[in-house]
């Protein structure tokens, strides 16, 4: 039961992290568009290093599910959030299983020392 709890907790944390990154990129896009229209009068504005880093991080986190369901321009917001959820389940199973077994090994080595 602890294994399932670890997987669910990990998946939920990863889902919140992915949603936060997605919303950050969306907010950055809005600010970028407003700056281009109001301050730069439509001239091109390069992406910041933080925007590029978060974009690549989100792409790396979404890699497993993008192999199964490629992203299209027709995807709606509910589709994107469900994609984030499915991806979090995939990563939650992998990372949660690793965490569970590493924690179990730590407990076994601590009990062996006593």
pTM, two decimals, is: 0.76
**Percentage of the residues of the chain whose pLDDT score is greater than 90:** 29
CA nearest to 22, candidates 112, 85, 99: 85
* DSSP assignment letter at 48: P
With cut-offs at 50, 70 and 90, classify the pLDDT of residue 37. Answer: confident
Average pLDDT, integer, range 11-15 = 92
Average pLDDT, integer, range 12-22 = 91
Residue 72 tokens, joined: 């299209």
What interhelical angle do 2-34 and 49-61 show, nearest 10? 140
Helix (H) or strand (E) holding 68: helix 63-68
């Amino acid at each position: 039961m602890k294994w399932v709890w670890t997987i669910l907790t990990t998946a939920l944390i990863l889902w919140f992290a992915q949603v936060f990154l997605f919303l950050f990129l969306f907010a950055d896009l809005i600010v970028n568009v407003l700056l281009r229209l109001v301050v730069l009068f439509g001239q091109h504005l390069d992406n910041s290093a933080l925007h590029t880093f978060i974009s690549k991080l989100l792409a790396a986190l979404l890699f497993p599910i993008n192999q199964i369901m490629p992203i299209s321009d027709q995807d709606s917001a509910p589709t994107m959030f469900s994609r984030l959820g499915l991806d979090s389940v995939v990563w939650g199973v992998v990372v949660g299983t690793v965490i569970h077994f590493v924690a179990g090994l730590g407990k076994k080595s601590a009990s062996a020392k006593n």
